[in-house]
Structure 1
Amino acid sequence: MADLIFYTNPMSRGRIVRWMLEELGQPYETRVLNYGPEMKAADYRALNPMGKVPTVVHGEAVVTECAAICIYLAEAFPQAGLSPAPSTPARAAFLRWMFFAAGPVETAVVNKSFGFALPDDPQAHTRAGWGSFDDVCDALEAMLSDGRDYVTGEAFSAADVYVGAQIGWGLQFGTLPERPGFRRYAEALATRPAAIRAREMDDALMNDGGQ
């Protein structure tokens, strides 16, 4: 049995973690859970109380939430070179944009997709930690506006898996606006061998009915 166990569904954010796992190049076991009773079962909720995927179990460690999983795996397998050295400008960018994507980007995109809008109140954007959808998109675009290939500006890292997946999905499903920086960045990352393998594996599971 592999030391890494990956709980997922091919029609979920687990696709992000699949990509991250493929970048690591480490063996792992995939356990696919169907939506509904299987994902809400007590034995799985003991690992992830939300009854959602993905979840990664590494020995005795249990990690949920895609951004947290990406950071954990990058640090657990430093030989992959996916986590910048501590207390460096690259590490600062890594953490900054990883959490920006997990917080403001995720919130702004989901709220907009459901048609939620902030109250017409001058203080609303200040009180809301994510500001506004336009603010989020502008900040993300500014990060990529200097033509940088990677979040840290130096090398590919786990932050590119998470941020890149968010932007790629946003463009695919129309939840992020079409901007040149977004398109250039997402298309370049999509050609990575690990990204291609991950897509093919999850697409095959979808074609098999998720089993």
Structure 2
Amino acid sequence: MTLPILYHCADARSLRCLWAVEEAGIDVDLRLLRFPPRAFEPDYRAVNPLMTVPGWVEDGRLMTESAAICERIAEGTDLAVRRDEPDHWEWRNWLHRSDATLTFPLAIMLRYTRVEPEERRLAQAVADYKAFFGGRARSIEAALGDGREWLVAGRFTAADIVIGYAAFLATTLDAGDVLGDATKVWLDRCTAREGFRRARERQKL
């Protein structure tokens, strides 16, 4: 049996997928790349013309969206919230929110603090998008404010992985201070999981 291939850069959005793999207990052929691939991994274009990570190749098909890949990994496991469960559509909404609403402003911050050369870095853009993220991160706080341990379904799911990654990324960009108190406690719970720890250990080049 041919294993799915996961192309990954350390702590990039593809960490969602590697974390999900570890939580689901499935095996993959992990290919570690330097970040950003467009600068350091020219051969990767033949796999993913977008030159982004993750790249998930299974049965000859390429997937490039981290939340969609996590949904694929979660299928048939407790990381998924089934259609017959009350929180199914809330779960799906969190999967989409993870990138479209939460990771997008962080990607702007990352670009203008680390990716661009010094002369092109924009402190105002970083400040503006940090505030943008902070406003949208209130949705996490609201979901957890009633004392919930996890976001949906009364258990740890892929929603916690994809949203947890966004919150984790914020802490690496000096934006952890905009997270609410309940969000910080939940994030500590997420990152203390063995699956998260194994994923971060496995990603070392």
Q: TM-score, normalised by structure 2?
A: 0.79
Q: CA deviation at 1:11?
A: 4.6
The equivalent of 2:190 in structure 1 is 189
Distance 1:33 1:107, change over 3 A: closer
CA displacement 1:26-84 (0-9 Å, x = unmatched): 1211112233465333xx33432211211111223321121111012112xx1x32111
Higher-Rg structure is 1
Q: 1:72 to 1:154 in 2, by over 3 A?
A: same
* 2:42 equivalent to 1:40: yes
Judge which range, 178-187 or 104-113, deviates more: 104-113
Query: Given the alignment of the two structures, is residue 68 of structure 1 paired with residue 68 of structure 2, yes or no?
Result: yes
Count of residues paired in the alignment: 187
- TM-score (ref. length: structure 1): 0.77
Provide the alpha-carbon RMSD of the alignment.
2.5
Contact between 1:6 and 1:56, CA under 8 Å: does it hold in 2? yes
Mapped to 2, the partners of 1:164 and 1:178 lie a distance apart of 12
Q: Match of 1:18?
A: 18
Instruction: Tell me the distance in 2 between the aligned counterparts of 1:152 and 1:200.
Output: 27
Change (3 A) 1:197 1:134: closer
Aligned counterparts, 1:137-148, within 5 A: 137-148=137-148
- Report the counterpart of residue 109 of structure 1 in structure 2: 106
Contact 1:2–1:27, Cα closer than 8 Å, also in 2: no
More helix by share: 2
> Does the CA contact (< 8 Å) of 1:71 and 1:83 recur in 2?
yes
Q: What's the CA shift string for 1:133-170, capped at 9, x where partnerless?
A: 44312222111211212121421111111111111221
Q: Match for residue 86 of structure 2?
A: 89
Match of 1:159 in 2: 159
Cα separation, partners in 2 of 1:47 and 1:138, compared to 1, 3 Å: same
Partner Cα distance (1:148, 1:116) in 2: 34
CA contact under 8 A between 1:17 and 1:69: conserved in structure 2? yes
Structure 1 counterpart of 2:13, which letter? R
Name stretches of at least 5 consecutive residues in structure 1 with no aligned partner. 118-131
What SS class does the counterpart of residue 69 from structure 1 fall into?
helix
Query: What is the aligned-residue identity percentage?
Result: 25
Q: Is the 8 A contact 2:137 2:179 kept in 1?
A: no
1:21 shift after superposition: 0.9
Structure 2 residue runs of 5 or longer lacking an equivalent are: 113-123, 127-131
